[in-house]
Amino acid sequence: MFPVGWLVIKDGPGKGASFALSEGVSQIGRGADQTVSLDYGDMAISRQNHAAIAYDGRTHEFHIGHGGKSNLVRLNGRPLLSTEPARDGDEIQIGETTLVLKVLCTPEFNWSRCEEEGDEHDMAIA
């Protein structure tokens, strides 16, 4: 699985840690079984499914949603109450932890497009 983007802890416990995101849904929580495991001592983050971020390989867009837990998730300072589009540089706050989304794949660059077009450096071997 190629990375489509990253979540990086910008502020709070675990500052500087990064998590590669793949196509599909990535669960965010403190548990070791979460794709984005924020187990750095921020007890305001639920163990499982506090939030989720998804990359849709068909539209090449990111979306973020609240996992239904009692503590809020904020997207760029606003409470996240439903699933919303997420863009490069967006900030996600969960508890005392602030993450920033760094996007790699877009409609202009994505792994499926690279496979279709091929590598310009590919050479046929006779």
Beta bridge partners of 102: 6
Report the pLDDT value the prediction gives residue 116, as an integer from 0 to 100: 65
Which whole number is the average pLDDT over 17-42?
97
> At 1, is the pLDDT very low, low, confident or very high (cuts 50, 70, 90)?
confident
**Domain residue ranges in the chain:** 5-117
More confident: 1 or 116: 1
Q: What is the predicted pLDDT for the residue at 121?
A: 43
Encoding tokens for residue 99?
């993450």
pLDDT in tens, 48-65: 999 999 999 999 999 999
Structure tokens at 85: 């589009």
Side-chain-side CA neighbours of residue 63 (13 Å) = 15
- Rounded to 5°, the CA angle 16-77-19 comes to 30
Q: Report the top-level CATH class of 5-117.
A: mainly beta
From the centroid of its chain, how far is CA 71? 19
120 Cβ partners below 8 Å, 6+ apart? none
Mean pLDDT within 2-29: 97
pLDDT recorded at residue 87: 97
Q: What is the pLDDT of residues 62-110, one digit of tens each?
A: 999 999 888 999 999 999 999 999 999 999 999 999 999 999 999 999 9
Evaluate if residue 3 carries a pLDDT over 50.
yes
CA dist., res. 61 & res. 67, Å (int): 19
Average pLDDT, the chain: 91
